[in-house]
């Protein structure tokens, strides 16, 4: 895919790429220099209606649902191969559109391919049960695709999250209408093109970037959508749930986080310091599961803060395509919000151990670059402790004992991930039991994309699970058939 191919992109509806009905477009901006990168068709409610109608037709009377599962699997596998074929171009596009370092985009693209491979592997293994009812009865269950899945995707991992939702839905036999964020829509559209090339029948996978308040609202409230997977912020998620409730549409909610990374004094710091730094500074902190709170055992606090500050100061910032240690944040709005949070934190009594400002090195002045930042002396109850900043800002607190750290770890409204760094397996297992979050990592943070691992939130981080085999439950419904004979 040549670079020129991403300069103008249309909507993917009914197996065709075309402009919006209104002719409207928007510019996708390169956050490393705030210049336009591509012109993209802007879907409005009218286009979403057409996309849903195309998906509805493909599901109700098209070939997708009548195809043998093994044939569906072959097409999903083919998409994975095409993603791998175009991996470098996709990664470069992601880095330009979102700003993330090239090696992170390469990982995202690899993970996207893995989603299609993983779910291709299960498309022909979606089995039901037989249930013993005694002589004269045969009772069995069938797992049927739920129908048209509406998927609303954020800007922080467009190709990865796009694939994470589309692949299991397609494997289950559903048809998909995906609305990527208008902040970074390019790779989701390129994925839509690859779906057509791989042989997905018309209407099975539609991609309609547009404004949340227009295209997004229409998708969430559309009466012919049978299921919604929403990934984004808590306030938007609540709004989407209300729209979906009006037509009794089941939803998966993948929302925000303020995940604790817990470091005990006995931790192996050679492992811990890079792990903790990566958990917050990857994708410039714009990761739902970022380890954005650091809880350090008091006796190791000063040493850990010192080592992490050195690490943060040594990081090289630059445009994502140059593969720096950290790229820009996504937009001016996000940039200003992050720096405002630093001021809020200072006002609340936090101490800036390092960073906290716009990065001003040569070549960065026109982009949205924020220094990797550590805020020390943070306490529960401060906004910088409780709220998701969604930037490269690590809030650091200290703890004295196990009971205190359990209390602190659970002391936000979120519950997405937690990390525990210790050589003591008993402490690790105790925390794994007591922390309320959807994933817990011990002496690591994340698992290279974690395609196989169920992922989702406790509390306001959401509900439902994506990834792994559990994700399929969102796209299937169980029918029970009871037969009396003899
Ligand atoms: P956002 O809530 O602003 O937008 C998410 C998506 O919703 C976008 O496509 C947007 O256009 C759409 N949207 C906005 N308003 C809408 C409306 N009124 N109706 C329907 N759709 C609407 O979130 P964002 O800023 O794009 O992403 C950042 C947030 O996403 C963070 O809170 C982050 O934690 C969360 N996130 C969660 C996960 C997860 O898996 N749990 C993954 C990535 C990001």
The pLDDT of 142-152, averaged and rounded, is 98
The pTM (predicted TM-score) of the whole model is: 0.96
> From CA 440, how far away is CA 427, in angstroms rounded?
13
Does the beta carbon of 36 sit less than 6 angstroms from any atom of ligand 1? no
Average per-residue pLDDT for the chain:
97
> From CA 282, how far away is CA 445, in angstroms rounded?
11
pLDDT surpasses 90 at 3: no
Does the beta carbon of 236 sit less than 6 angstroms from any atom of ligand 1? yes
The pLDDT of 118-126, averaged and rounded, is 98
pLDDT surpasses 80 at 1: no
Residues 383-410: tens digit of each pLDDT: 999 999 999 999 999 999 999 999 999 9
3 state SS of 393: strand
pLDDT surpasses 90 at 232: yes
What secondary structure letter does DSSP report for 334? H
In ligand 1, the atom with minimum distance to the C-alpha of 152 is 9
The pLDDT of 197-218, averaged and rounded, is 98
The pLDDT of 197-204, averaged and rounded, is 98
Does the beta carbon of 116 sit less than 6 angstroms from any atom of ligand 1? no
Does the beta carbon of 324 sit less than 6 angstroms from any atom of ligand 1? no
Q: How far is the CA of 154 from the centre of ligand 1 (A)?
A: 5
Residues 327-365: tens digit of each pLDDT: 999 999 999 999 999 999 999 999 999 999 999 999 999
- The preferred substitution site among 45, 154, 178, 337 for testing ligand 1, maximizing ligand atoms within 8 Å of CB, is 154
The pLDDT of 94-120, averaged and rounded, is 98
Confidence (pLDDT) at 72: 98
Residue whose token pair is 């802007």: 42
The catalytic site residues sit at 254, 288
pLDDT surpasses 50 at 2: no
| Phi and psi, residue 419, nearest 5° | -120, 140
Does the beta carbon of 235 sit less than 6 angstroms from any atom of ligand 1? no
Contacts of 1 (CB under 8 A, 6+ apart): 86, 89, 90, 93, 190
The pLDDT of 299-312, averaged and rounded, is 98
> From CA 163, how far away is CA 82, in angstroms rounded?
13
- The preferred substitution site among 161, 163, 186, 236 for testing ligand 1, maximizing ligand atoms within 8 Å of CB, is 236
In ligand 1, the atom with minimum distance to the C-alpha of 210 is 11
The DSSP code sequence of 189-200 is HHHHHHHHHHTP
> From CA 58, how far away is CA 372, in angstroms rounded?
47
Residues 233-284: tens digit of each pLDDT: 999 999 999 999 999 999 999 999 999 999 999 999 999 999 999 999 999 9
Does the beta carbon of 181 sit less than 6 angstroms from any atom of ligand 1? yes
Structure tokens at 213: 């308040």
Does the beta carbon of 257 sit less than 6 angstroms from any atom of ligand 1? yes
Angle, in degrees to the nearest 10, between helices 69-85 and 102-122: 170
Terminus-to-terminus CA distance in the chain, angstroms?
62
The pLDDT of 15-38, averaged and rounded, is 96
Name the percent of the chain lying above pLDDT 90.
97
Tell which residue, 465, 464, 446, has the closest CA to residue 455: 465
User: Whose CA is closest to atom 9 on ligand 1?
Assistant: 181
- The preferred substitution site among 213, 232, 338 for testing ligand 1, maximizing ligand atoms within 8 Å of CB, is 232
Q: How far is the CA of 478 from the centre of ligand 1 (A)?
A: 30
- Note whether 141 and 157 are within 8 A (CB): no
User: Whose CA is closest to atom 35 on ligand 1?
Assistant: 232
The pLDDT of 423-448, averaged and rounded, is 96
pLDDT surpasses 70 at 4: no
Q: What angle do CA 367, 371, 377 make, to 5 degrees?
A: 150
Confidence (pLDDT) at 449: 83
In ligand 1, the atom with minimum distance to the C-alpha of 466 is 40
Confidence (pLDDT) at 448: 80
Does the beta carbon of 188 sit less than 6 angstroms from any atom of ligand 1? no
pLDDT surpasses 90 at 370: yes
For the beta sheet containing 293-297, the strands, ordered from the edge strand earlier in sequence to the opposite edge, are 351-354, 373-376, 393-399, 293-297, 260-263, 417-421, 439-442
Confidence (pLDDT) at 447: 83
């Amino acid at each position: 895919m040549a670079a020129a191919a991403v300069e103008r992109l249309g909507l993917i509806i009914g197996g065709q790429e075309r402009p919006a009905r209104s002719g409207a477009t928007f510019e996708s901006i390169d956050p490393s220099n705030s210049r336009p990168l591509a012109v993209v068709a802007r879907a409005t409610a009218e286009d979403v209606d057409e996309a849903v109608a195309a998906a509805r037709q493909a599901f109700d009377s098209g070939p997708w649902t009548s195809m043998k599962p093994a044939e569906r699997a072959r097409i999903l596998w083919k998409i994975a191969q095409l993603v791998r074929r175009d991996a470098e171009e996709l990664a470069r596009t992601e880095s330009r559109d979102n700003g993330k370092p090239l090696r992170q985009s390469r990982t995202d693209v690899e993970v996207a391919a893995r989603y299609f491979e993983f779910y291709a592997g299960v498309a022909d293994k979606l089995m039901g049960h037989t249930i013993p009812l005694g002589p004269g009865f045969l009772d069995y269950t069938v797992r049927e695709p739920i129908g048209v899945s509406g998927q609303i995707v954020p800007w922080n991992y467009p190709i990865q999250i796009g694939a994470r939702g589309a692949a299991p839905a397609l494997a289950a036999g559903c048809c998909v209408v995906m609305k990527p964020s208008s902040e970074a829509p390019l790779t989701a559209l390129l994925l839509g093109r690859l779906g057509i090339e791989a042989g997905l029948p018309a209407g099975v996978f539609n991609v309609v970037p547009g404004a949340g308040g227009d295209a997004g609202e229409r998708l969430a409230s559309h009466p012919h959508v049978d299921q919604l997977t929403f990934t984004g912020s808590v306030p938007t998620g609540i709004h989407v749930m209300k729209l979906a409730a009006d037509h009794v549409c089941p939803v998966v909610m993948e929302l925000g986080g303020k995940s604790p990374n817990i470091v005990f004094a006995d931790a192996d710091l050679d492992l811990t310091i890079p792990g903790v730094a990566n958990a917050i500074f990857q994708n410039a902190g714009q990761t739902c599961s970022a380890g954005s709170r650091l809880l350090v055992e008091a006796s190791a606090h000063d040493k850990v803060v010192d080592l992490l500050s050195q690490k943060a100061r040594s990081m090289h910032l630059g445009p994502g395509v140059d593969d720096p240690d950290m790229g820009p944040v996504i937009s001016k709005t996000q940039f200003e919000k992050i720096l405002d949070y630093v001021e809020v934190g200072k006002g609340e009594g936090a101490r800036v151990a390092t960073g906290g400002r716009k990065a001003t090195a040569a070549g960065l002045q026109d982009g949205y670059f924020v220094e990797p930042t550590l805020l020390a002396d943070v306490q529960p109850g401060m906004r910088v402790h409780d709220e998701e900043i969604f930037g490269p800002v690590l809030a650091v607190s200290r703890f004295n004992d196990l009971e205190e750290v359990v209390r602190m770890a659970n002391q936000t409204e979120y519950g997405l991930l937690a990390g525990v760094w210790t050589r003591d397996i008993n402490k690790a297992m105790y925390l794994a039991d007591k922390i309320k979050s959807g994933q817990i990592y011990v002496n690591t943070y994340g698992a290279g994309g974690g395609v196989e691992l169920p992922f989702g939130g406790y509390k306001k981080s959401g509900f439902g699970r994506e990834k792994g085999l559990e994700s399929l439950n969102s796209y299937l419904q169980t029918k029970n058939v009871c037969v009396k004979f003899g």
